[in-house]
């Protein structure tokens, strides 16, 4: 059974989809000489891939400030928690963690604790003044002021910067690849979001949408490739609206063009992206994907609901029919493309009929995977201002369970259809369950586990695997060549 994923925002890399909740993961220090640093930071991240990518920028800035990383919280002089506001549960988890860190402060007076990311703006007063939980509060656009804020905090002041920016993309900062498998990396291509989906807090926590300088993205991806990485995932809240006009030029670079440019770095570099908005993904993007073997045939295309009435209340700006036509178009241009989704159960005023339509659209779209949530009202969002959160919790949970059951069935069904087929797999490392097996992914983003046998293979190699069996979350097979 796929667990009900309530605390994950965007698709992640995990061998086993049971483990996909990413709550409070500490980073493994980067493989460099950690002994040169006098002071150490510990960083724990919650929420979406974007947040994890931000933590790598924070780490890079902290190295420059003379802090080395540690995975052992007891050893840290500076603890950061990179927070998520997307659902209430994520916020509760962070709060609990901060209370634990506070205890450590009792034992080590010089210890500083800071809150980064999406909860910073909304809860700064509460964290700093009322509950005295933290020493620093730094919003997602203020990481450049980390150094001065840390110094302020070291001097005994409460240090805060939660200003959102219209320009900041951290384009010039090379993220430190913490806790990396050395094969796949996330590359942030834009920040913020202008969509204003009525349930979503992101436009308030992360601000207006802005695209990162294309040349800096290409530079980062090229460096990754030169350093042995074989897969980049281009990240943004809504990648299809990427739009960057280089200085001194008149024409802007679209997402389709960016994809093409990244794909041209090397045929051996796989390119993925997340997240697409059904209203924005263009034929141009689909054709670009189809043209390049190394652009993975996988699209995360959140539907949120299958009911046009609910979609309108959600301000998603597409109907059920529009979404279905988009799925048709994807399959027409790329018959082998994997599709996944995000689904919210129990949005305001949702009735049984709306819910049934969500189940139907899941069947229609034949999702390989979905991130499934029940609606959690967020302060300041359009939905909170305009609508009543009127679906009782037990109904939300029951509907979510039904959604999960449909998804479980679809995932298994889709995986069974792959038995007998062969896929090019990029090896990411040992299988979690056995060192005798490799784990990698197909272009469609499916996890593939296969025996190492006597082949001379290593992490980062491409290999053709024939699928002979499957579970709901994994394809099992053997090496063909």
- Residue 302 interacts, among ligand 5AD, ligand SF4, none and using kind-specific CB cut-offs from 5 to 8 Å, with ligand 5AD
Binder of ligand 5AD out of 86, 149, 232, 301 (CB under 6 A): 86
Instruction: Report strand pairing: 462-470 vs 253-254.
Output: unpaired
- Among residues 295, 342, 368, 283, which one has the least CA distance to residue 87? 342
N- to C-terminal Cα separation, the chain? 33
Stretch that binds ligand 5AD, among 110-118, 149-157, 219-227, 373-381 (CB under 6 A): 373-381
CA distances from 296 to 10, 71, 321, 338, 426 (A): 17, 33, 26, 9, 11
Check binding of 376 to ligand 5AD (CB under 6 A). Answer: yes
Q: How far is CA 202 from CA 117, 169, 318, in A?
A: 11, 16, 20
User: What are the φ/ψ torsions at residue 226 (nearest 5 degrees)?
Assistant: -65, -25
Q: Which of 116, 134, 200, 310 binds ligand 5AD (CB under 6 A)?
A: 200
Number of residues that bind ligand 5AD (CB under 6 A): 14
257 binds ligand SF4 per the rule CB under 6 A: no
Interface residues for ligand 5AD in 120-179 (CB under 6 A)?
Answer: none
User: 112 or 343: whose CB is closer to ligand 5AD?
Assistant: 343
With CB under 5 to 8 Å by kind, the binding choice for 47 among ligand SF4, ligand 5AD, none is: ligand SF4
Structural contact between residues 480 and 464, judged by C-beta atoms closer than 8 angstroms: yes
Q: What is the dihedral of CA 267, 268, 273, 279, to 10 degrees?
A: 20
Nearest one of 280, 271, 163, 258 to 213, comparing CA atoms: 258
Contact between residue 428 and residue 439 where contact means Cβ atoms under 8 Å apart: yes
Q: How far apart (Å, rounded) are the C-alpha atoms in residues 304 and 319?
A: 11
Select the binding partner of residue 84 from ligand 5AD, ligand SF4, none (C-beta < 5 to 8 A, by kind): ligand SF4
* 86 interacts with ligand SF4 by CB under 6 A: yes
Give the nearest distance from C-beta 329 to ligand SF4 in angstroms: 27
| CA-wise closest residue to 297 among 335, 246, 266 | 335
Which does residue 164 touch among ligand SF4, ligand 5AD, none (CB within 5 to 8 A, set by kind)? none
CB 42 within 8 A of CB 80: yes
Spell out the alpha helix ranges (H) of 378-421.
382-386, 393-417
Is 378 an interacting residue with respect to ligand 5AD (CB under 6 A)?
yes
Side-chain-side CA neighbours of residue 82 (13 Å): 27
Find the binding residues for ligand SF4 in span 51-70 (CB under 6 A): 51
**Matching residue, tokens 């656009």:** 141
CA separation, residue 148 to residues 138, 154, 443 (Å): 11, 10, 43
Contacts of 332 (CB under 8 A, 6+ apart): none
Q: Of 16-24, 209-217, 327-335, 374-382, which segment contacts ligand 5AD by CB under 6 A?
A: 374-382
Among 206, 230, 277, 320, contact with ligand SF4 (rule: CB under 6 A)? 206
| Contact flag: residue 302 with ligand 5AD (CB under 6 A) | yes
Q: What is the per-residue binding string for ligand SF4 in 160-199, x denoting contact by CB under 6 A? A: ----------------------------------------
205 binds, among ligand SF4, ligand 5AD, none (CB under 5 to 8 A by kind): ligand SF4
Q: In the complex, which residue's CB is closest to ligand 5AD?
A: 342
Interface with ligand SF4, residue 259, by CB under 6 A = no
Q: How near is the Cβ of 49 to ligand SF4 at its closest, in Å?
A: 8
Q: Is 81 helix (H, G, I), strand (E, B) or coil?
A: strand
- Tell me which residue has tokens 């920028």: 57
Nearer to ligand 5AD by Cβ, of 52 and 375: the residue is 375
Binding partner at 244 among ligand 5AD, ligand SF4, none, C-beta below 5 to 8 Å by kind: none
358 binds ligand 5AD (CB under 6 A): no
Out of 5, 9, 234, 425, the residue judged to bind ligand 5AD by CB under 6 A: 9
Site string for ligand SF4, 16-55 (x = CB under 6 A): -------------------------------xx-xx----
Minimum distance from CB of 201 to ligand 5AD (Å)? 7
Helix (H) or strand (E) holding 255: helix 255-263
* Closer of 350 and 428 to ligand 5AD (Cβ): 350
**C-alpha atoms less than 13 angstroms from C-alpha of 131 in its C-beta half-sphere:** 13
- Alpha-carbon distance of 196 to 182, in angstroms, equals 36
Among 241, 274, 304, 358, binds ligand 5AD (CB under 6 A): 304
Q: Which residues bind ligand SF4 (CB under 6 A)?
A: 9, 47-48, 50-51, 84-86, 117-118, 201-202, 205-206
């Amino acid at each position: 059974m796929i667990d009900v994923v309530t605390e994950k925002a965007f698709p992640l890399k995990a061998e086993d989809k049971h483990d996909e909740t990413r709550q409070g993961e500490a980073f493994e220090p980067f493989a460099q000489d950690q002994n040169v640093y006098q002071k150490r930071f510990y960083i724990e991240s919650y929420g979406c891939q974007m947040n994890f990518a931000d933590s790598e920028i924070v780490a890079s800035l902290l190295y420059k400030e003379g802090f080395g990383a540690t995975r052992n919280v007891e050893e840290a002089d500076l603890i950061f928690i990179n927070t998520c506001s997307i659902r209430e549960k994520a916020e509760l988890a962070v709060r609990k963690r901060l209370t634990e860190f506070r205890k450590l402060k009792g034992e080590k007076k010089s210890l500083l604790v800071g809150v980064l990311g999406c909860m910073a703006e909304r809860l700064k007063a509460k964290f700093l003044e009322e509950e005295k939980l933290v020493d620093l509060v730094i919003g997602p656009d203020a990481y450049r002021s980390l150094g001065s804020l840390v110094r302020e905090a070291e001097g005994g002041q409460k240090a805060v910067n939660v200003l959102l920016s219209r320009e900041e993309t951290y384009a010039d900062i090379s993220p430190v690849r913490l806790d990396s498998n050395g094969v796949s990396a996330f590359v942030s291509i834009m920040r913020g979001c202008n969509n204003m989906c009525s349930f979503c807090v992101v436009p308030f926590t992360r601000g207006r949408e802005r695209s990162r300088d294309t040349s800096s993205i290409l530079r980062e991806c090229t460096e990754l490739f030169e350093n042995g990485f074989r897969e980049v995932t281009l990240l943004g809240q809504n990648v299809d609206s990427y739009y960057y006009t280089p200085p001194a030029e008149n024409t802007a670079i679209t997402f389709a063009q960016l994809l093409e440019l990244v794909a041209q770095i090397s045929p051996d570099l796989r390119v993925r992206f997340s997240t697409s908005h059904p209203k924005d993904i263009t034929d141009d993007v689909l054709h670009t994907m189809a043209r390049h073997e190394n652009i993975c045939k996988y699209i995360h295309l959140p539907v949120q609901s299958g009911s046009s009435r609910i979609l309108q209340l959600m301000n998603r700006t597409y109907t059920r029919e529009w979404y279905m036509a988009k799925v048709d178009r994807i399959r027409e241009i790329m018959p082998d493309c994997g599709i996944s989704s995000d689904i919210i159960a129990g949005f305001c005023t949702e009735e049984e009929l709306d819910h049934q339509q969500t189940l139907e659209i899941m069947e229609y779209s034949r999702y390989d995977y979905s991130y499934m949530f029940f609606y959690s009202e967020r302060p300041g969002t359009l939905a909170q201002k305009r609508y009543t959160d009127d679906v009782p919790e037990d109904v939300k949970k029951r509907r979510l369970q039904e959604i999960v059951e449909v998804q479980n069935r679809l995932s298994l069904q889709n995986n069974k259809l792959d038995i007998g087929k062969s896929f090019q797999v990029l090896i990411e490392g040992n299988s979690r369950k056995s060192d005798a097996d490799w784990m990698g992914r197909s272009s469609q983003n499916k996890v593939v586990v296969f025996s190492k046998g006597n082949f001379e293979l290593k992490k980062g190699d491409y290999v053709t695997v024939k699928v002979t069996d499957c579970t709901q979350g994994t394809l099992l097979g053997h090496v063909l060549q």
